[in-house]
Every structure is written in C-alpha cells, then in structure tokens.
Chain A
Amino acid sequence: MSADTTIEEAVRDLLRSRAPLAQGLSDLPGDLRVGAGGLGLDSIAMVELLLDCEQRFGIKATELLEGAPLTVGRLAAHVREAVR
C-alpha cells in the first residue's frame, strides 16, 4: 500500500469518526460533499474535522473552508499534498 493510499484511508477514517452518515459507507467518493447535500456535517463539525486533520497530520487545513465546497476528494488531496 502506497503512502498516498494510506493517507487517503486515514482521512476517510477521520470522516467516518465525525460524520454519522459516513459510518455505514465502505466507499466515500471523492466528489462527495462534506457538508449539506453530502455527509451532512454542520459548520462546527466541519471545523472540528479540519482541526482533527491538523492534529493528526501536523498540517494547516482550515484554509479549505475558503473557496470551493469541501469534498472528500479535496480534503484528501490537500492532506496528501501538505504532508509531502
């Protein structure tokens, strides 16, 4: 298993721990939104998720709240790039 795959799995595990809707899903598609219309995280849960990422991977992640909708793929890609 590559390092990238491991990171992506770790991000998906974090998502499952924060989003009850994600817990029963074996696959979390990259285009799935983290907030409304996707995993349904509210504003506070979104911040907590990103703080979890920062703590887990030692990176800055809260900047992802700016701009495009936060998706599983966007979050995973950001973490992958940041830890390189």
Chain B
Amino acid sequence: MPPSRWAASPPTCAKPSGDRRVIGARKTFDALERGLALLATRRPGLALSGADALGRLRNRLSRRWPSPEQVHLLFPHLDRRATARVAWSLGALEARNRLLISCIGRAGLDPVRPLVRTSQDAFAALRPPLVLGTFHVGAVQALGAVVERLPGPVLILRQGLLHTPRPPVEIVSTDGDDQSRAASFQRALAHLAGGGFVVLALDVVQGAGFQVPCLGRTLALARGPFALARLAGTPLVPLVARWRRGGVEAEAGEELAVDPTLDPADREAALAVSAGRWLERYLLDSPSELSLGLLRILLANASAPPSISSRRNS
C-alpha cells in the first residue's frame, strides 16, 4: 500500500500526523462537515449530497477509511477500478451517515422523514407479528423513519436512544445488565403476542451470539433476535435501508427459512447462518452498502473455514 499523502480522516477515527498539509486537509474537511451539519436541519437533501461528495473526495485523496486494499480483501472478485469505486462510495456512505446521526441528534427524525421514499405499499407484504432484523449497512440510521411506515405498531430494541420516537413506534433500550435486557426481551415478546413488529439489529452482540460466515470471514450475530423469533413463533425478515437518488429506500428480504425439524437451539443457529448468508448476498450484490464499522469487524475476524456453520458464544 503506498504511503498516504492525505491522511484526512473522519473525526471518529483521526490519527495524529505531523504532516502540515495532512493536518490542514483534515481540518478543512472537518470544517466543511460541520458546516453541512448546520445546513442539514434546514436542507437535509442538499446537505447530504454535499456530504456524499465530500466523503467521496476525502476517500479518493486519502485512500483510507476504507482503503481499496481493505475493500479488495472482502470483495476479491472486483477488478482494480471497481474496488476503488467501492472504496469511494464507502467514504461517501460514512460521510452521509455521520451527517445523518448529527442531524437526528439535533432535530430528531423530522428532517429525515421527507427523505424516505419507501411507501406503505412497499411494506404491504409484511404482516405482523414479525421480527425485522437489521444490519449496519447503508442508511441504517434512517431506519427509525422507515419503520414508521410499517402497517402496525412497531417496537424498536436498540442500544441507547438516538431520537424520541413517534407513535405507533416505541423504542426500548437494551442497555443495562442481563435482567434489564431480559425485561426488554420480554416486552418484545409481549409486543409480538399483541400483533406488532419488533425491529432490532442482528449484528450488535450484547450477550450470547453466534459466529457465522460472511464474505469469507466470520461475523458475530446476536442470539436475541433468533431466540425472539423462536419463542414468539414468528418469522424473521432482514430489513435494510440505502441511499438512492438523494433519498432513502428500504428493502425487506425474504423470510429466513430453516429446517423446521431442527431442535430449538439448532434452529436458532441455523437461522443465524441463514441471516449471514442473506447479508453476504446483499453485499455481493451491493458492495457499496457495507459500512466502515462492519468492514472493520469483518477484517478483524478470522477467515471462515469453508465448513463453518455456526458457533455459539455465551
């Protein structure tokens, strides 16, 4: 990998550098991002387009966060030019999402709602009770606005509260000890029993989890969503959001299916493997949707042997 001439970095992963030009470039990019954050609450579409261009340029100049080499490790089938384009797109995605988080933190979901292009009709096939499992890909922070369009009451289980939800959406925090998380889990079960949707991340592991293969690596998935689907007797469907033409579109996958004759513990593990496969297919089809965080997690994890099915951690 050639030495980075421009070590411009997002604030979250900045590393000190002695090169004045590098520091100057980083400060310029940071200042521009702060300016866009101010613009975002009034003109979110414009600000997000600006963030996209800025993130893309930042990645092209720095060849970092992510580097084309990192992208190549996960998508070795892409040629050199395609790999570089994916890296630029991931830089743009990160910049958009940083801005989105800042925007939601300042003004809640109000500026985000007009950006959502997914109609209620698009979700018509989703019938509650249903568990919707999300991944940290694409416009993941916009999912709060996307799920408001689901045809039924929605309970989101997540770490921390990024915004105050609008009925019929409720958010339950999964922070705290095992008993607090058990109470949240129980609330989700009751919500499903009452005929609602439960939305939660599959790739945030706070307690027990499964190691599943994805893009030639292993990925930890939380056990909770799979146990929730099993105990409630409801299907589990992947849900992702992505930036498209200045707006946010959502895609719900097919219901994750496994052999119904498996015993409960094996069924959860098989569902987790099925979720990993779904994510792998989605990212092979749309590599530009991979978040930097997920890319780092995958690269930090060991390569998955071809025979791996799942391994449960507790």
Contacts and interface: CB of A to CB of B under 8 A. Distances in A.
Contact of A36 (B177, B208, B223, B224): B177
Contacts of B314: 42
A66 B182 CA distance: 9
Interface string A48-84: 1011000000000010011001100000000000000
Interface residues of A, number: 16
Interface string B228-262: 00010000000000000000000000000000000
B202 to A, nearest CB: 15
A46 interface: yes
B177 A47 contact: no
What does DSSP make chain A's interface, helix, strand, loop or mixed?
A: helix
B73 interface: no
B186 A47 contact: yes
A43 B231 contact: no
Interface string B186-219: 1001100000000000000001100000000000
By size class, the interface of chain B is 10 to 19
What does DSSP make chain B's interface, helix, strand, loop or mixed?
A: helix
Closest 7 CB pairs of A and B: A43-B181, A43-B182, A65-B183, A46-B182, A35-B178, A43-B178, A62-B186
Given A47-B186, A70-B179, 17 more contacts: A35-B179, A35-B182, A42-B207, A42-B208, A42-B314, A43-B179, A43-B184, A43-B224, A44-B185, A44-B207, A44-B208, A44-B227, A47-B185, A47-B231, A50-B186, A65-B182, A69-B179
Interface of B: 177-179, 181-186, 189-190, 207-208, 223-224, 227, 231, 314
